[in-house]
Amino acid sequence: MASVKPWSLVLVVFCIMSLSYFVNGAGSNEGLGASFIFGDSLVDAGNNNYLQTLSRANIPPNGIDFKASGGQPTGRYTNGRTIGDIVGEELGVPSYAVPYLAPNSTGKAILYGVNYASGGGGIMNATGRIFVNRLGLDIQIDYFNNTRKQFDKLLGPSKAKDYISKRSIFSITIGANDFLNNYLLPVLSVGARISESPDAFIDDMINHLRNQLTRLYQLDARKFVIGNVGPIGCIPYQKTLNQLNENECVDLANKLAMQYNRRLKELLSELNGKLQGAIVVHANVYDLVMELITNYTKYGFTTASKACCGNGGQFAGIIPCGPTSSLCKDREKHVFWDPYHPSEAANVIIARQLLSGSTKYISPVNLKQLRNL
């Protein structure tokens, strides 16, 4: 029989101690434990790199300002950090939530959170079909169900439940693609507009989202933050396509977003009453981004209409950002990085409001308050 060497015992004790740091650290108030991120390309951190899809951002110059990768593309649809990255950092999570589909997102790598977001994804399963593959919210929640079981194995069922319900925040940033890459697509393609009125479509979205949030609750999520849909009629893509002037936005797209947003707000207050012990925070991304676009000079931007990286038309808004795109010099002076997505500079301003802003943009509590509850 082999004898146990003293140093191997030391190693075992050390491992137990570092695991108990996670487990017992769960009771302390030193920052958030984990950040679970659901949504679309606004917060995708690389899941689409692992899909056969037409929606990809792991090509330069995406990520050019992302310090953690030394400026290499990671699959984030922006030049630097996403809102999800910045919020996690500011709430004290030691590292960015790992993309669920990355092969090395296993074991302890998931303790600080997992990111399920996928470029092209939406609330409805059919959304983003033009990209061939993407993860819709139903599938993202199926994946969290897998993660949930892994937490039981890592921490034990009782501590896992505590960690998930008390020390984790669940953020959901979704809905824009349900309009841009579903309902508003030209009538001859896959758009639901052929068969459904806006009221019926938005009704469907809200009913789906109610089920989806309830499923997360059943899996012990308690601290939620849900973003509404931004002013999608003001993105460079829509403005270029519709040949608008600098300070105009596409009316129909913004009207649909506002109509959905009103229903979302009602849904979230309904769930705040219905889901015992949960707190559901509403992030008013629409008004926040609208303020940024309207008053961009106040925030040090020189344009809120032209994409920094893109090509085509007046606002470089037709062809997505890639190696052959024209690239602006002053990236921190553009609200939009590409035809669809905000720059890191804009993300920083948006994230700051969500973290510590007033109820005008984040209610009933802001994210720093939510963490400390």
Ligand X SMILES: *[C@@H]1O[C@H](CO)[C@@H](O)[C@H](O)[C@H]1NC(C)=O
Residues known to be catalytic: 41, 338, 341
**Pick 242 or 294: Cβ nearer ligand X:** 294
Q: How far is the CB of 337 from ligand X (least distance, A)?
A: 21
**Pick 193 or 215: Cβ nearer ligand X:** 215
* C-alpha to C-alpha distance for 56 and 60, rounded to whole angstroms: 11
Structure tokens at 38: 């659901």
Residues 318-347 interacting with ligand X (rule: CB under 6 A) = none
Candidate residues 272, 294, 314, 369; the one interacting with ligand X per rule CB under 6 A: 294
C-beta atoms surrounding 10 within 10 Å:
10
Query: What is 37-58 written as a DSSP string?
Result: EEESTTT-SSGGGGS--S----
Long-range contacts of 326-332 (CB under 8 A, 24+ apart): 327/61, 330/302, 331/64, 331/65, 331/79, 332/300
**Pick 125 or 272: Cβ nearer ligand X:** 125
Q: How far is the CB of 129 from ligand X (least distance, A)?
A: 12
Stretch of 115-123, 171-179, 250-258, 287-295 lying at the interface with ligand X (CB under 6 A): 287-295
**Pick 181 or 325: Cβ nearer ligand X:** 181
**Pick 294 or 314: Cβ nearer ligand X:** 294
Task: Read off the DSSP letter of residue 332.
Answer: G
Stretch of 188-196, 255-263, 288-296, 311-319 lying at the interface with ligand X (CB under 6 A): 288-296
Residues in contact with ligand X, shown as a per-residue x/- string from 46 to 85 under the rule CB under 6 A: ----------------------------------------
Stretch of 25-33, 58-66, 134-142, 301-309 lying at the interface with ligand X (CB under 6 A): 134-142
Q: How far is the CB of 298 from ligand X (least distance, A)?
A: 7
**Pick 26 or 219: Cβ nearer ligand X:** 219
Residue among 110, 144, 130 nearest 55 (CA): 130
Q: Does 138 bind ligand X (CB under 6 A)?
A: yes
Half-sphere exposure of 296 (CA within 13 A, CB side): 21
Residue that has been written with the tokens 């500011």 in this structure: 90
Q: How far is the CB of 139 from ligand X (least distance, A)?
A: 5
Type of residue at 167: R
Task: Please give the helix or strand (H or E) that residue 85 lies within, else none.
Answer: helix 83-90
Q: How far is the CB of 254 from ligand X (least distance, A)?
A: 12
Pairing outcome for strands 309-310 and 279-283: unpaired
Residues in contact with ligand X, shown as a per-residue x/- string from 214 to 233 under the rule CB under 6 A: -x--xx--------------
Candidate residues 8, 28, 104, 324; the one interacting with ligand X per rule CB under 6 A: 104
Stretch of 52-60, 173-181, 277-285, 286-294 lying at the interface with ligand X (CB under 6 A): 286-294
Long-range contacts of 358-366 (CB under 8 A, 24+ apart): 360/284, 360/287, 361/283, 361/284, 361/287, 361/288, 362/225, 362/281, 362/282, 362/283, 362/284, 363/281, 363/282, 363/284, 364/272, 364/279, 364/281, 364/282, 365/279, 365/281, 366/281
Stretch of 252-260, 289-297, 315-323, 327-335 lying at the interface with ligand X (CB under 6 A): 289-297
Q: How many residues bind ligand X (CB under 6 A)?
A: 16
290: Cβ–Cβ under 8 A, 6 or more apart, which residues? 230, 231, 234
Residues 190-219 interacting with ligand X (rule: CB under 6 A) = 215, 218-219
Residue that has been written with the tokens 């390309």 in this structure: 41
Binding-site ranges for ligand X (CB under 6 A) = 98, 102, 104, 109, 125, 138-139, 142, 145, 215, 218-219, 290-291, 294-295
